[in-house]
Amino acid sequence: MSRPSLTSTVFLKEIRETLRDKRVILGVIVSPLLVTPLLIGTVLFFAGKKEIEKQASIVEVGIVEQSAFPELVKRLKTDEGFNAHQIDSREAAKQAIEDRTIRAALIVRENAQTEFSSNNSAPLEILYNFANENSQFAQARLRNFIGKFDKEALADRIEAASLSENFAKPTKVEITNIAAGSSAGSFVLGLFLPYIIVMSAAFGGIQTAFDLCAGEKERGTMETLLVSPASRYEIVTGKLLTILTISFIASCCAITGIIAPIAFGLEFFKKLVGDSISINFISVVWMMLIVIPLALFTSSLLLVISSFARNQKEAQTYILPFFAVVILPAVLSTVLGAESHICTAFVPILNISLTMKQIFGDLFDTLYFGISLATSFLYAFLAMRLAASFFQREQILFRT
């Protein structure tokens, strides 16, 4: 008569001991639910405050008139958004920008007035320092000012020539966005949320994985567990389920920590994604389900590393290649579009990340989803078999 499986017994033992570790609770639950939203909110708050201050600020600019151009220069000097300084030469303006006494300079070329009066384009030049943020802002504001001047000058020329206002507008384009509010919100989340989830699923279970194998070797409790009635396969499965559970909880907490503040309408998150959009919670549910194969794969890799390492310190040295394997596809997913080539469905981690983007962008591809799911479970199975083989070989498990 076959005995009942002891996998659940091993799992319950390991998960109970894991949840007693305050480091796991802080890193997996408290940080994603409280610290991360607070951090993001703080960053967005001060970024928004800085942007408001920029828009309300008065920009110090210089004017170098190689020839008189009163139509433009007089308007610039009276504009409330600028504090314009007359400068003698281009070199002096360049030096003033470097000294930060002004942020940008408008150079009026010698024939600017003549060309403007002849209904041609007046040659101008804007000097600024690309390496300076305030100088970039001054350059952008000057360009906006000149753009408004050009529109008014064009309107005057059209009126003087007794032409219709539509003369300078051969076409009239009306742009209509057919995306619903929830689709727009999901698209914005799809730009960055998959990356956060991958990081949470991959790194949420590191502490647990290291403690379950490498940590037990250090404490000398691995031998006691191996002589228990549970088979080594049952021990591996129980430990893997523990890491998977912690990784999945970390992912769900990361999702909740981002989605919940948006759902409750915190002001700084609404500024990020827009007041008129909403979140498609069906997409969120689908994303939580797709996290399972991702967490299973990363948990299996962590178990392999922890099984091979002699102690936790050695495991930390092996984790660097794991970082590369996880971070590179995760970062690549932020660059690639959701409608990528079908070949990307075979790349681990990248396939799940792009599937999440498809779910959020209402671009769900059944074939891509099926291949991603199947290959992710396959890679997880192979990694799990490798970890199980390590547990069967004592020269690896207890190597010195």
pLDDT in tens, 338-363: 778 888 889 888 888 888 888 777 77
pLDDT at 104 over 90: yes
Average pLDDT of the residues of the chain: 81
pLDDT at 399: 60
Nearest 5°: CA angle at 301, between 299 and 305? 115
Q: What is the pLDDT of residue 278?
A: 55
Q: How far is CA 32 from CA 83, 143, 196, 273, 331, in A?
A: 46, 42, 10, 20, 20
For 273-300, the pLDDT digits (tens) are 455 555 666 777 777 788 888 888 888 8
Average pLDDT over residues 309-335: 82
Structure tokens at 5: 């499986």
Would you say residue 209 has pLDDT above 90? Answer: no
Rounded to whole angstroms, the Cα distance separating 116 from 285 reads 61
What number is the average pLDDT over the span 257-276?
A: 58
Mean pLDDT of 190-200: 76
Residues 362 and 178: beta-carbon distance below 8 Å: no
Contact criterion met (CB below 8 Å) for 227 and 221: no
Distance CA 373, CA 377 (A): 6
| Position 266 pLDDT exceeds 50 | no
Task: For 277, list phi and psi in degrees, rounded to 5.
Answer: -100, 165
> With bands split at pLDDT 50, 70 and 90, how would you rate the model's confidence at 331?
confident
pLDDT at residue number 105: 93
Residues 391, 94: Cα–Cα separation, whole Å: 69
Q: What is the pLDDT of residues 7-53, one digit of tens each?
A: 888 888 888 888 888 888 888 888 888 877 777 777 767 877 787 88
DSSP annotation string for 237-289: HHHHHHHHHHHHHHHHHHHHHHHHHHHTT-HHHHHHH-TT----HHHHHHHHH
Region for 170 from its dihedrals, namely left if φ exceeds 0, alpha if ψ lies in -120 to 50, beta otherwise: alpha
Yes or no: say if 76 and 63 are a contact pair by the CB < 8 Å rule: yes
Sequence-separated (6 or more) residues with CB below 8 Å from residue 49: none
* Residue 312: Cβ within 10 Å count: 16
The whole-angstrom separation of Cα 21 and Cα 28 is 11
Q: Is residue 182 predicted with pLDDT exceeding 60?
A: no
Which region among 141-145, 162-166, 368-372 has the lowest average model confidence (pLDDT)?
162-166
Q: Select the more confidently predicted residue: 335 or 362.
A: 335
The region of weakest confidence among 89-103, 104-118, 137-151, 189-203 is 189-203
Question: In whole angstroms, how far apart are CA 45 and each of 48, 49, 188?
Answer: 5, 6, 18
Place of tokens 């003369």: 167
Sequence letter at residue 248: F
**Confidence (pLDDT) at 319:** 82
Give SS3 for 124: strand
